[in-house]
Structure formats: structure tokens, C-alpha cells
Amino acid sequence: MIHVFFVCLGNICRSPLAEGIFRDLVAEKKLYDKISCDSAGTSNYHIGHSPDPRTVRNALQNMIKLNHKAQQFAYKHFHSSDYIIVMDKSNLDNIEILRDQQGLENVKIMLMRAFDREGENQDVPDPYFGGEDGFQEVFEILNRSCRNLLHYLIKEHQLET
């Protein structure tokens, strides 16, 4: 099983949406017995909370059902994840600090938009303090990036689809 772990700050906007989009793409390709995914936030702000209502609304408008409760990233996730996919450079800094504290040089941490040709390696913008439009922009970025991430994994692990 290849385990993909999405990370943002609060785990109520970007990373649960990435998880929902990616899970549906994996199901579409019937790869659910090969690839699994989960998500967490670097902060403890929203532990146990459902995704932000604006995220839930946006996901439903895009035919995605979210079923997640926010959790904070913990050391154990380094061991249960093959790919840690972070939404922005501040998430990257925070996770790299935790990784270095654990002496785990080999864990793969990648930016979500390393997989987005329209804005390679840019941050997935944080929509929390903005309006509803920001959530659709985030959806479109994540949708493109998740599709390319899945293609990358299929190729990298020679998965049959």
C-alpha cells in the first residue's frame, strides 16, 4: 500500500479537500487497494473539527463528499506515510523541522504544486481568511495537482490501471 499524507495549517480547508479529491481519483482508477490517503494540520487550532463549512460547500458543488475530522501532524505520521504532500512553503518548513528533529532524512516531503504545471512549486493559497471565490480557486489547483500526483505514482510504482 502506498500511503499519501496531505498537510496544511488547520486541516479544515486545503488538506481535507486534497484528501477528498485524491480519494475519488484513486477510486475512479480502482486503485483503492494500492493507494490510501489521509491528512493533518501542522497546528492544533481545529483538532476534532469537521472541515470548514465553506470547504464542505465547495466540495459538494464539485461532487466531492468530505468525511474527515481535523488532526494535528505527529511524528507517527512520518512512519505511516510514503509521501507527505504539503500545501505551502510554511508547511514545508514546519514539517522539515519535525523531520530533522527525528533524524529522518529519507522521508519524502513534496509541495502539492510540484504537480501543478500552472504555477509549479507555488503555494496553494490559504483560503481561510478570504471569500468563497478563494475556495473554488483552491479546488481547481488541487484538482489539477491531485490528477498529476496520481499519474506520477502510477508511473513511479508501475501500477496497473
* Near ligand 4NP in 28-57, by CB under 6 A: 41, 45
SS3 assignment, position 154: helix
Annotation marks residue 14 as catalytic: yes
Asked if 39 and 14 count as a contact pair (C-beta separation under 8 A), the reply is no
Radius of gyration of the chain from its Cα atoms, rounded to whole angstroms: 15
Phi, psi of 110 (to 5 degrees): -130, 150
In whole angstroms, the minimum distance from the beta carbon of 123 to ligand 4NP comes to: 11
Active-site entry in 116, 126, 144, 146:
126
Q: Is residue 10 near ligand 4NP by the rule CB under 6 A? A: yes
Nearer Cβ to ligand 4NP, position 9 or 150? Answer: 9
In whole angstroms, the minimum distance from the beta carbon of 17 to ligand 4NP comes to: 8
- Look at phi and psi of residue 11 and say left if phi exceeds 0, alpha if psi is from -120 to 50, else beta: left
Nearer Cβ to ligand 4NP, position 60 or 130? Answer: 130
Q: Which of 4, 5, 8, 38 binds ligand 4NP (CB under 6 A)?
A: 8
Contacts of 72 (CB under 8 A, 6+ apart): 11, 40, 41, 42, 43, 44, 47
In whole angstroms, the minimum distance from the beta carbon of 9 to ligand 4NP comes to: 3
Annotation marks residue 117 as catalytic: no
SS3 of 92-134: the string is: HHHHHHHHHHHCCCCCEEEEHHHHCCCCCCCCCCCCCCCCHHH
Name the grid cell of 28.
Answer: 475512479
The span of 4-12, 27-35, 103-111, 113-121 binding ligand 4NP (CB under 6 A) equals 4-12
Q: Is residue 126 near ligand 4NP by the rule CB under 6 A? A: yes
Catalytic residues: 8, 14, 126
**Residues found near ligand 4NP in the complex (CB under 6 A):** 8-14, 41, 45, 126, 128
